[in-house]
Amino acid sequence: MTEDLTPSLETVLAESQELYSLPAAAMEVLRLIRRPEIDVMALKETLERDPALTTKILRVVNSSMYGLSGQVSNLKQAIALLGIGPLKLLVLGFSLPPALFADQTADSLRRYWTESLNRATAARTIAEVYRLQGSDDAFVAGLLQGIGKLALTQQLGEAYTSLTAKIQLFPATGGDPLRDVEHAAFGFDNYTLTAAMLRAWKLPEQYARAIELQAKPHTIRTLRGDDARMPQILRLADLTGKLVGGRQLAVLPSLLEEGAEYVGMSRRGLNRVVTELQPKVDSLAEAMRVDLEEHRDYEQTLLDAHAELKLVSEQAAKQLMSLPIESDQHDRLCHELLSEANELTHSMRQFLAMRRSERLNVARGDGPQTGPRRPRSANARLPGEERLRTEAIRVSTECRASRSELSIVMFKALGETDDAAEALQSEFAANSPTEEAIWTSGSPLKAAVILPRVDRATAVRFADEAVAWFAGWAPQAELKAGVATITAVPNRFETLNLIEAAERCLSAACHHGNAPVKSIEVY
């Protein structure tokens, strides 16, 4: 019987608990607020022992999010003006474990903070505009919702960040492609992981429950009474963030329909929320000293989305906007994303195996690790992708200087075979179209080769030869290839575009047609 190697939520959560713990000040605040009567002075003294947290809280209190008429200069004033409730929520919201942010790329952090602040601020603004209770709780839940993604990014590195970047370009269909890929890879999604982490930290259950339900929008629509309030606000905030922050125009019909159902939101009400949103988000980001993604214009994005709806009736617009491309192209994109699940599972297994190895090293006295490690990062634990990118950038600079072609060929073995990448490199390293060929491999079944000064036709012939050889070496399997070539490398060329073009060709060869090699020329 085959062993099920899919990482379990319990295993991943156990590693997350070990790697990411709440700061001491936050733990003490949690202890104090669980008491029947909150000791305000003890809470103030606890916060004052963490000057960085105190400074951050005061900057946020003085931002446009609270709209206070005067300047708040100390915690005593903050407590007097806001009350203990908002203050304790700010502590919980801004006391995330520092290890979650270690080694994150600048792009990942900008995406995380843009999504989180959009969602959190939208949640609070919606609650205020429609005079709903719990605006501060909704803000904190919106801020915390993304920590599962952050933990997966920390643990899986490039394997997860590249997936989330691809999904940003995925056409909106009313579903959640990231959740689908996560379930295929792990058996759980980032919402479930976030909720589990919050419960492990003993944060209020209402946060965990509201976030967990975001993976089940149909269930949210069945909720009634007080239990429905926070999940519904968070759902509307998430859709608002996707619309104006992620420019997913297709979510507007769902946002208007669910907004009307949950809080009586009209188009004019949504316009008011969006008008207030961007200044608050920018002010909050400045107060927290975090960077956001550039080129954001929320009001213009909302106008663009409304313009789409004016094309036809609202019902027809929903259908049109939920199917923005032909169904066969949509199926291809779905298959392409789901094919990432195996890579994601492989990365998670490596992360967990690495953590087991580190614990054994500690047990043997080899010394503890100082922080979380992940399988795909610049530390070269999985050097294939990082080396491919680094070498491609270096070679593209040389090809630009010599006005030469540059090709990248990616191979992937399908079927029952082991060490295909190693065998392929061993066979063809000496028979590549150029002596300058650079081979890399990110897994036993995938390999890539950089071919400086090699044109598209020559690169395709090389890939065809490799496919023909592989058919004899492993008759029970298939070798697919994707080729991308640029004839003249321009100044400021984004080498990642060439790598991604080769990946797309490889995906097309794997999922469509009988041709084992697909190629493209990049301009």
Q: Which of 508, 511, 468, 467 is nearest to 484 (CA)?
A: 508
Query: Does 187 share its domain with 170?
Result: yes
> What tens digit of pLDDT does each residue of 106-165 get?
777 888 889 999 999 999 999 999 999 888 888 888 988 988 888 888 777 777 777 777
Query: Does 200 share its domain with 89?
Result: no
Sign for the pseudo-dihedral over CA of 112, 385, 342, 410: positive
| Total domains in the fold of the chain | 3
Residue 18 within any structural domain of the chain:
no
Q: How confident is the model at residue 21 (pLDDT cuts 50, 70, 90)?
A: low
Encoded tokens for 450: 């950089």
Query: Does 164 share its domain with 254?
Result: yes
Q: Domain with 352 in it: what CATH number?
A: 1.10.3210
**Of 141-155, 283-297, 363-377, which range is least confident?**
363-377
Q: How confident is the model at residue 377 (pLDDT cuts 50, 70, 90)?
A: very low
Residue 13 within any structural domain of the chain:
no
Instruction: Confirm if 266 and 260 have CB atoms less than 8 A apart.
Output: yes
Domain's final residue, options 353, 376, 399: 376
Question: Distance (Å, rounded) from C-alpha 435 to C-alpha 443?
Answer: 24
Question: Distance (Å, rounded) from C-alpha 351 to C-alpha 366?
Answer: 19
Residue 407 within any structural domain of the chain:
yes
Does the pLDDT value for residue 310 go beyond 70? Answer: no
What local confidence, expressed as pLDDT, does residue 491 receive? 74
Query: Does 82 share its domain with 114?
Result: no
Residue that wins the pLDDT comparison between 329 and 489: 489
Rg of the chain (C-alpha set) = 25
What local confidence, expressed as pLDDT, does residue 422 receive? 80
> What tens digit of pLDDT does each residue of 193-251 get?
999 988 888 888 999 999 999 999 999 999 998 889 999 999 999 999 988 888 888 88
Residue 5 within any structural domain of the chain:
no
Query: Does 330 share its domain with 264?
Result: yes
Question: Distance (Å, rounded) from C-alpha 482 to C-alpha 195?
Answer: 39
Domain's final residue, options 71, 95, 119: 95
Give 490's DSSP letter. P
What local confidence, expressed as pLDDT, does residue 2 receive? 32
Q: What is the mean pLDDT of the chain?
A: 78
Q: Which helix (H) or strand (E) holds 421?
A: helix 420-428
What local confidence, expressed as pLDDT, does residue 274 receive? 92
What local confidence, expressed as pLDDT, does residue 228 receive? 92
How far are the Cα atoms of 200, 442, 486 from residue 146, in angstroms, in the given order? 16, 28, 38
Give me the domain span that covers residue 388.
383-522
Does the pLDDT value for residue 188 go beyond 90? Answer: no
**How does DSSP assign 406-453, residue by residue?**
EEEEEEEEEES-SSHHHHHHHHHGGGSSSTT-EEEEEETTEEEEEEET
**Of 87-91, 303-307, 453-457, which range is least confident?**
87-91
Q: How confident is the model at residue 370 (pLDDT cuts 50, 70, 90)?
A: very low
What local confidence, expressed as pLDDT, does residue 485 receive? 93
What local confidence, expressed as pLDDT, does residue 408 receive? 94
What local confidence, expressed as pLDDT, does residue 401 receive? 79
Encoded tokens for 73: 């200069």
* Mean pLDDT to the nearest integer, 422-436: 79
Question: Distance (Å, rounded) from C-alpha 442 to C-alpha 344?
Answer: 12
What local confidence, expressed as pLDDT, does residue 3 receive? 36
Could you tell me whether strands 477-486 and 406-415 are parallel, antiparallel, or unpaired per DSSP bridges?
antiparallel
What local confidence, expressed as pLDDT, does residue 459 receive? 92
Query: Does 395 share its domain with 303?
Result: no
What local confidence, expressed as pLDDT, does residue 230 receive? 94
Question: Distance (Å, rounded) from C-alpha 32 to C-alpha 397?
Answer: 58
Instruction: Confirm if 75 and 43 have CB atoms less than 8 A apart.
Output: no
Q: Which of 242, 137, 152 is nearest to 192 (CA)?
A: 152
What local confidence, expressed as pLDDT, does residue 420 receive? 79
Residue 17 within any structural domain of the chain:
no
How far are the Cα atoms of 55, 270, 398, 523 from residue 488, in angstroms, in the given order? 52, 48, 11, 8
Does residue 310 sit in helix, strand or coil?
coil
Report which residue type is found at 49.
R
What local confidence, expressed as pLDDT, does residue 317 receive? 41
> What tens digit of pLDDT does each residue of 36-95 get?
777 778 877 877 777 767 777 787 778 776 777 778 878 778 777 777 767 766 776 667
Sign for the pseudo-dihedral over CA of 260, 112, 29, 208: positive
Q: Domain with 428 in it: what CATH number?
A: 3.30.70.270
Query: Does 144 share its domain with 271?
Result: yes
Residue 14 within any structural domain of the chain:
no
Residue 3 within any structural domain of the chain:
no
Query: Does 52 share its domain with 187?
Result: no
* Torsion angles phi and psi, residue 513, rounded to 5: 75, 170
Q: Where are the alpha helices (DSSP H) in 215-326?
A: 217-220, 226-244, 252-263, 267-288, 298-309, 314-322
What local confidence, expressed as pLDDT, does residue 375 receive? 42
Domain's final residue, options 348, 376, 404: 376
Question: Distance (Å, rounded) from C-alpha 374 to C-alpha 150?
Answer: 13
Query: Does 214 share its domain with 339?
Result: yes
3-state SS, one letter per residue, for 72-110: CCCHHHHHHHHCHHHHHHHHHHCCCCHHHHCCCCHHHHH
Does the pLDDT value for residue 331 go beyond 90? Answer: no
Question: Distance (Å, rounded) from C-alpha 500 to C-alpha 495?
Answer: 9
What local confidence, expressed as pLDDT, does residue 238 receive? 94
Query: Does 365 share its domain with 413?
Result: no
Residue 1 within any structural domain of the chain:
no
This prediction has a pTM of: 0.61
Q: How confident is the model at residue 180 (pLDDT cuts 50, 70, 90)?
A: confident
Residues 6+ apart with CB under 8 A from 163: 178, 181, 337, 340, 344
Query: Does 56 share its domain with 136?
Result: no
Please, what is the end-to-end C-alpha distance for the chain in angstroms?
A: 50
Question: Distance (Å, rounded) from C-alpha 517 to C-alpha 341?
Answer: 22
Query: Does 59 share its domain with 157?
Result: no
